């Protein structure tokens, strides 16, 4: 993978702001392929410094529980990205992170961090202006390819890179990921129910079966195709189009409360799925049913109506070298 931006070693004094949206992946039958960008944004200001050493500050979601050292996911991703670009890290680095995406709740917090790290690393590379160069710029295709490779699946990362609803696939992650943006009917409003408990993606994936029945695979592929149509033109079919046979039922014991909420919402006629790897629940409400959907949420859960982030990750130069 080669970035289409000019890249030289970050110059001390260069400072950039990067923001990336949360995401809800899988969307029922769209396992590991369909992602929805949500209007909840993590942000980070990165400053290259001449003084050696790494300084990280964190505020918002996860503050106090995140390691503020070389193991920080944004920093690790930046180092990996610089290696991919063939440039050396700056002598020192200051990262000021403000997190709004809840951690461990199926809203793509790790993918958001990975995307931010890749964009930050590119944006700090203050290559010459013109021909794709200049500090504060980044290559979305390179970002999408590397993020999918690091994340292990493309759905969350692609939504954070491009915004909106994305459909992604790859025959060989080492070569690259193909992502297309899907049309979304403007009447569709995402409602996210986030519980207090967390669930790591690794634990959620560990219980998935190694094999599925042919009939289940066929049913799932049909509904995934229907989902693309329902999202764009026929939201009245969203309940049927969001039925899944691959990943939600095997994980039911891991988030019984979440599946109970999915069941309740679907019985009431609303398209509801597990958000990402859970335990949050995503309902694809219509603008006329948002209040009814929110009223079905359990006590103690956060009911979020963040909207769809129509744009993806963005970078802005704050201070040139």
> What predicted TM-score, i.e. pTM, was given to this entire model?
0.93
* Token pair belonging to 56: 């990280």
Q: Where are the beta strands (DSSP E) in 61-132?
A: 92-99
* Token pair belonging to 263: 């069941």
> What pLDDT sits at residue 177?
95
For the chain, residues with pLDDT lower than 70 are: 1-6, 126-135, 320-321
The three-point CA angle 13-15-19 to 5° equals: 170
CATH for 188-304? Answer: 3.30.70.890
> What pLDDT sits at residue 64?
83
Q: Which residue has the tokens 């033109």?
A: 233
The Cα 150–Cα 166 span in angstroms is 18
What are the sequence ranges of the domains in the chain?
Answer: 15-181+309-319, 188-304
The Cα 82–Cα 63 span in angstroms is 26
Q: Answer yes or no: are the C-beta atoms of 75 and 114 closer than 8 Å.
A: no
The gap from C-alpha 1 to its chain's centroid, in whole angstroms, comes to 21
> What pLDDT sits at residue 3?
65
How would CATH label the architecture of 15-181+309-319?
Answer: 2-Layer Sandwich (3.30)
> What pLDDT sits at residue 8?
82
pLDDT digits (tens, 9 = 90+) for 239-263: 999 999 999 999 999 999 999 999 9
49 - beta bridge partners? 92
> What pLDDT sits at residue 131?
43
- Tally of residues, the chain: 321
pLDDT digits (tens, 9 = 90+) for 184-233: 999 999 999 999 988 787 888 888 889 999 999 999 999 999 999 999 99
Helix (H) or strand (E) holding 311: none
The Cα 251–Cα 247 span in angstroms is 7
Residue 250 φ/ψ, nearest 5 degrees: -60, -25
């Amino acid at each position: 993978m080669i970035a289409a931006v000019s890249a030289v070693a970050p110059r001390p004094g260069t400072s950039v702001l990067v923001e990336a949206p949360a995401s809800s992946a899988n969307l029922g039958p769209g396992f590991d392929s369909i992602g929805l960008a949500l209007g909840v944004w993590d942000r980070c200001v990165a400053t290259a410094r001449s003084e050696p050493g790494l300084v990280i500050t964190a505020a918002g979601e996860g503050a106090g529980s995140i390691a503020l050292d070389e193991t920080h996911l944004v920093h690790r991703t930046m180092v990996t990205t610089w290696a991919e670009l063939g440039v050396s890290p700056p002598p020192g680095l200051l990262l000021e992170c403000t997190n709004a995406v809840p951690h461990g709740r199926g809203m793509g917090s790790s993918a958001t961090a990975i995307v931010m790290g890749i964009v930050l690393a590119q944006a700090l590379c203050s290559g010459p202006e013109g021909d794709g160069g200049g500090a504060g710029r980044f290559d979305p295709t390179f970002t999408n390819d590397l993020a999918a490779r690091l994340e292990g699946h493309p759905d969350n990362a692609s939504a954070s890179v491009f915004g909106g609803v994305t459909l992604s696939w790859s025959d060989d992650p080492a070569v690259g990921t193909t992502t297309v943006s899907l049309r979304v009917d403007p009447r569709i409003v995402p409602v996210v129910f986030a519980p207090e408990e967390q669930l790591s993606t690794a634990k959620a994936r560990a219980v998935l079966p190694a094999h599925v029945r042919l009939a289940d695979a066929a049913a799932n592929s049909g509904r995934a195709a229907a989902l693309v149509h329902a999202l764009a033109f026929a939201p009245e079919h969203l309940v049927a189009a969001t039925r899944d046979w691959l990943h939600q039922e095997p994980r039911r014991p891991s988030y019984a409360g979440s599946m109970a909420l999915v069941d309740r919402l679907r019985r009431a006629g609303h398209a509801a799925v597990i958000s990402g790897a859970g335990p949050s629940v995503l309902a694809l409400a219509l603008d006329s049913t948002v209040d009814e959907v929110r009223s079905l949420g359990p006590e103690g859960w956060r009911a979020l109506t963040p909207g769809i982030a129509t744009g993806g990750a963005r970078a802005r130069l704050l201070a040139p070298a």
